[in-house]
Structure 1
Amino acid sequence: MVIAGAVVTALLGVGVQLYPLPYVVLEPGPTVDTLGRYGGKQVITVTGGESSASAGQLRMTTVQVKSDVGLAEAVEAWFDGDRALAPRSLVYPIGQTTEQVDRENTELFASSQSSAEIVALRELGYPLRPQVTAVTAGGPSADALRVGDVITGVGTQGVDTAETFADLAGRVAAGTQLTIAYTRAGRAGSATVTSAGGTEGIGVRVEQKQQTPFSVAIEVDEIGGPSAGLMFTLGIIDKLTPADLTGGRIIAGTGTIDDAGAVGPIGGIPQKLDGAKAAGAQLFLVPEGNCDEALRNAVPGLAMAKVATVGEALTAMRTFVAGGNPTPCAPAR
């Protein structure tokens, strides 16, 4: 019986090693200089305008996730300071397939790029304005408004958002005449439009847009999630600013970004700190919501600055480059 039990135990051990455990291994992923190239392509490209070169780097940090983890690898990761063993459900929620999670991360990555551009351009003096993005052919505004017109008023009411425009122009009865004020190619104008009522309204689509003489594109393959938002924002600002914001330093960081410029917390701080240090970073921009975890996993020789907004991140960079000490992470009270 003892021999039989030993055989069963040995077979179970083999089975555990052969079949994946419900865990994933988190390890430092690649860091990407948003001012440079990745995968043979320029990460941030400015077309139709001037962009500056920087002596330093702005590195977004990533976490590499390894699934299908066997017993031996799980034990190895458990004792490896650079890697972490985490429940699989932390990365792949129960009820969602790997493909669904990957697709969601791709969408979040694209959204972070859009928000980064909005915030960066606003920081550089290009505010969001309600802009005509489509005109219905043969509709009420076909001969009155054009794509690219910036709406400034409806009747006697000023308009500064697409939402305000929708409230004023999209909910009137058929036959109502509306005077629409706009700027076109920098010149003010107005047009009288008769609403068709209902869902057609005056036959235009108006969205919040920024008018610039140039376009910005971000291209990074095989990376997902929203956590690169902050570093994309800073990269765009640096590219479109004559001065070198890096001061020749290597600055890394992480954090989501929303359209208001707020920096949100992310996962994988320990691995991202290790990845940043390995890439030669001298300063790491930490989302305020991640400060406690960052302090528990501080890396010798890598300074950390607490940031809650893009404005705070820019201040931290400028302070560091000038030889000062940015606002550090502090334990939550």
Structure 2
Amino acid sequence: MTGPSVPPPEGDPGDGSPTVVEPADADVQPRQGRRVPRWVGWVVGVVVLMVIGGAIGASAAIRTDQVLFEPGSVRGTAGLVEVSGTKSYPMKGDVLFATVSVRQATLFDRVFRRPLDDTLRFTPIDEVYPDGDKAAVDAANESAMDDSKTVASVVALQHLGRKVTFTGDGVAIVEVAPEMPADGLLKAGDLLVGADGQRLELTDDLHRILEGKKPGDSVKLSVVRGGAPSSTSPHGEDGKKTGGKDDGKDDGADTDPPAEQSADEESVIVPLVAADDGRPVMGVQVADYNLDVELPIDISFDSGEVTGPSAGLAWTLAIVDELTPDDLTMGQRVAATGTIGPDGAVGPIGGLPQKTAAVRRAGAELFLVPEGLPKEDLVQAKQIAGDEVDLVEVATLDEAIDEIEEFVGA
């Protein structure tokens, strides 16, 4: 009996040889391509890193139109202030002052550093260097540092009851108020060398003469036209010893006897009117011209390359400590920033957040700062200080000394 005919499988040669059946698609094994050498990945990684490094390096060389303010160094005044000509008492502790590093910002600073560091501040370059005159700004800062040393010496010695002598070559007119008696009679740059027949050396001499008058009177001035640079600026607001507005107090200093007027002097009679508080005034702002301070001892400073007036308070505290038998800092390190005025007032400074970061880094636990700084600066500074640095606002040298004594437990 013959069975039904069954067709051979596809591909069967029909000759009885073995049949080869291809596996289903799911079981197909792909062909393996050529393996990429491992070193290729390393080469690609190195090239990428080189490109990124090159971009970063290039960005560090590209200057922007902004100035970068960042935390600078912290320096101790111990060893930087030297007193001679009297008995001194070397500081056992130290009074530190902080600096702010200032330079033109690069693209690297703005792109890579700015998002990671909240102590950096960027300011348009034309706001820092008007007219692009960096040399003039640097020179002004150097002069401000020199002035701060002089004022610090005077204030410290007066605080300790030491006598300081001032001499000058007259009274410079800094500014004349519009529609006041002196308007049209005097101008900025004029030098007053006499008043009512008495020679003028200091602004105090002029103030003393005006105090003997009343509104409605007049004063006869001896004036050298253009005898003082118009760039002369007042050194203070109270007119005491270092210049200021035409409103001082009598400090008992002697005046020179009347002298004959020289050929280059001109006589000008200026009427006086009442100021808001009733004092007789001409309506001028004045400053001591060629002011010279004679100290009873020698005080020298080593400020290095630091410029600006903000170390004034620290210099003053250092001198007081050097000349005080009882150690002011009691072996501890405290920091201070602020200008110092002729009357011992602590004046404002810039860069408080940056200076606070530097002080914290230096490990000082007390940081004396001027009273009345911008609220946003103070808030940021306190955030930076955290629990490690105690920021204390002071308005005067006396307050600063009291705060230090309280801190050290004196």
TM range (shorter): 0.5 to 0.7
Q: Residues of 2 paired with 1:90 and 1:50: CA distance?
A: 49
Identity fraction in percent: 31
Q: Which amino acid aligns with 2:87?
A: E
Q: Does 1:19 align with 2:102?
A: no
Query: SS of the residue aligned with 2:335?
Result: strand
Query: SS of the residue aligned with 2:137?
Result: helix
Residues 169-248 of structure 1 aligned to structure 2 (within 5 Å): 195=260, 212-248=295-331
Are the equivalent residues in 2 in contact too, given 1:82–1:274 (CA < 8 A)?
no
Query: SS of the residue aligned with 2:106?
Result: coil
- Structure 2 CA distance for partners of 1:128 and 1:91, relative to 1, 3 Å: farther
- How far residue 82 of structure 1 moved from its aligned partner, in angstroms, is 5.8
Please identify, of 212-221 and 274-283, the stretch whose mean Cα deviation from structure 2 is larger: 212-221
Q: Does 1:294 align with 2:337?
A: no
| TM-score with structure 1 setting the length | 0.68
Are the equivalent residues in 1 in contact too, given 2:163–2:296 (CA < 8 A)?
no
- How far residue 289 of structure 1 moved from its aligned partner, in angstroms, is 2.0
- Structure 2 CA distance for partners of 1:207 and 1:78, relative to 1, 3 Å: closer
Match of 2:88 among 51, 54, 76: 51
Q: Which amino acid aligns with 2:300?
A: A
After superposition, the C-alpha distances for 1:23-72 in whole angstroms (9 at most, x for unaligned) are 22222111111122xxxxxx1111211211122110011001131412x2
Higher Cα Rg, which structure = 2
Q: Does 1:280 align with 2:346?
A: no
Are the equivalent residues in 2 in contact too, given 1:128–1:209 (CA < 8 A)?
no
Q: Residues of 2 paired with 1:249 and 1:119: CA distance?
A: 23
Q: Does 1:311 align with 2:401?
A: no
Unaligned ranges ≥5, structure 2? 1-54, 171-197, 210-219, 223-253, 267-287
- Structure 2 CA distance for partners of 1:287 and 1:166, relative to 1, 3 Å: closer
Q: Residues of 2 paired with 1:321 and 1:217: CA distance?
A: 27
Q: Residues of 2 paired with 1:306 and 1:68: CA distance?
A: 31
Q: Residues of 1 paired with 2:407 and 2:374: CA distance?
A: 18
RMSD: 3.8
Query: SS of the residue aligned with 2:372?
Result: helix
Q: Residues of 2 paired with 1:254 and 1:90: CA distance?
A: 26
Unaligned ranges ≥5, structure 1? 1-12, 37-42, 135-156, 173-188, 324-333
Residues 91-240 of structure 1 aligned to structure 2 (within 5 Å): 92-131=128-167, 162-165=202-205, 195=260, 212-240=295-323
Q: Residues of 1 paired with 2:394 and 2:93: CA distance?
A: 20
- Aligned match of 1:89: 125
Query: SS of the residue aligned with 2:355?
Result: helix
- Structure 2 CA distance for partners of 1:198 and 1:123, relative to 1, 3 Å: farther
| TM-score with structure 2 setting the length | 0.56
- How far residue 88 of structure 1 moved from its aligned partner, in angstroms, is 3.3
- Structure 2 CA distance for partners of 1:318 and 1:209, relative to 1, 3 Å: farther
Are the equivalent residues in 2 in contact too, given 1:230–1:257 (CA < 8 A)?
yes
**Number of residue pairs matched?**
267
